[in-house]
């Protein structure tokens, strides 16, 4: 299946994508991870996109589309996380999929209030060893280093100021895409203010993996 996991910063896209990967064996394509990997490499492209990332601004469409496209064709099934974020990207995705005779099967939109999201993101920690995301209260990092050695660090762009800016951009440019996918009849919305396991149950139902 080709699934878009959609929603604002902190809604739990990465967390639920991880569960879907475990359940379906699909690949997790997270454009934010692609951006951070490129920055870490210190490439010319990485230097160019770092400014946007650090300021909480979107990387220009043509750059992010070129970075994402090769991954769509690499796997039979995927969970796309963090893309598309505006009309131009949604169109580019449709065109890229048409070229390989594929389409998006389902868009799962996670929904929660901005206040909940800001609170949630301040407790987010990411493992430098595995890239996996945890929460200091709701999903604590393992103490056993065989499972994930860490260290578990806060993202530079998870400051309250940068989070609010990213949420503003989400509401203006990204959220309207829900109508686009609703019209295609492939949108499922999920209340993401529930606990992680409750959200997972609804997500699995949305992709027919709730047996
Ligand atoms: P968040 O969703 O919290 O903003 P991500 O990890 O998804 O974080 O993305 C980190 C950064 O990578 C974004 O702030 C943005 O600069 C860039 N980025 C990721 N995906 C896209 C995209 N589809 N379009 C433009 N920029 C993107
Ligand atoms: P996104 O990828 O949408 O930005 P993440 O999956 O990184 O969101 O989740 C943001 C933070 O909130 C992480 O620290 C994660 O562990 C935590 N989290 C995710 N889902 C829930 C939930 N349903 N309830 C409480 N905390 C959650």
125 is catalytic: no
Q: What's the pLDDT at 145? A: 86
Residue whose structure tokens are 């469409």: 61
82 pocket-lining for ligand 2 (C-beta < 6 Å):
no
pLDDT band at 211 (very low <50, low <70, confident <90, very high): low
- Return the residue whose CA atom lies nearest to atom 10 of ligand 2: 10
Q: Over 80: is that where the pLDDT of 210 sits? A: no
H or E element at residue 93: helix 87-99
Per-residue pLDDT of 106-137, as tens digits, reads 999 999 999 999 989 999 999 999 989 999 99
- Return the residue whose CA atom lies nearest to atom 8 of ligand 1: 32
Architecture of domain 2-112+174-206: 3-Layer(aba) Sandwich (3.40)
Q: Domain extents for the chain?
A: 2-112+174-206
Minimum mean pLDDT among 64-68, 163-167, 174-178: which range?
163-167
Judged by its nearest atom, the ligand closest to the C-alpha of residue 108 is 2
Quote the CA–CA distance of 159 and 186 in Å, as a whole number. 34
- Tally of CB atoms within 10 A around 109: 22
């Amino acid at each position: 299946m080709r699934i878009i996991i959609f929603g604002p910063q902190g809604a739990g896209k990465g967390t639920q994508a991880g569960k879907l990967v475990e359940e379906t064996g699909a690949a997790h394509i997270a454009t934010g991870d692609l951006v951070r990997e490129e920055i870490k490499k210190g490439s010319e492209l990485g230097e160019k996109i770092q400014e946007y990332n650090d300021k909480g601004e979107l990387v220009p469409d043509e750059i992010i589309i070129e970075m994402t496209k090769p991954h769509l064709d690499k796997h039979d099934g995927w969970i796309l996380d963090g893309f598309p974020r505006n009309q131009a990207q949604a169109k580019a995705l449709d065109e890229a999929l048409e070229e390989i005779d594929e389409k998006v099967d389902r868009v799962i939109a996670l929904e929660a209030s901005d206040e909940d999201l800001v609170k949630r993101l301040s407790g987010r920690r990411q493992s430098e060893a595995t890239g996996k995301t945890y929460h200091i209260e709701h999903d604590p990092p393992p103490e056993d280093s065989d499972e994930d050695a860490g260290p578990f660090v806060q993202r530079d762009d998870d400051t309250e100021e940068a989070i609010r800016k990213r949420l503003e951009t989400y509401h203006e440019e990204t959220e309207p895409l829900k109508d686009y996918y609703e019209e295609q009849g492939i949108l499922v919305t999920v209340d993401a203010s529930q606990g992680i396991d409750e959200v997972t149950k609804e997500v699995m139902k949305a992709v027919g993996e709730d047996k």
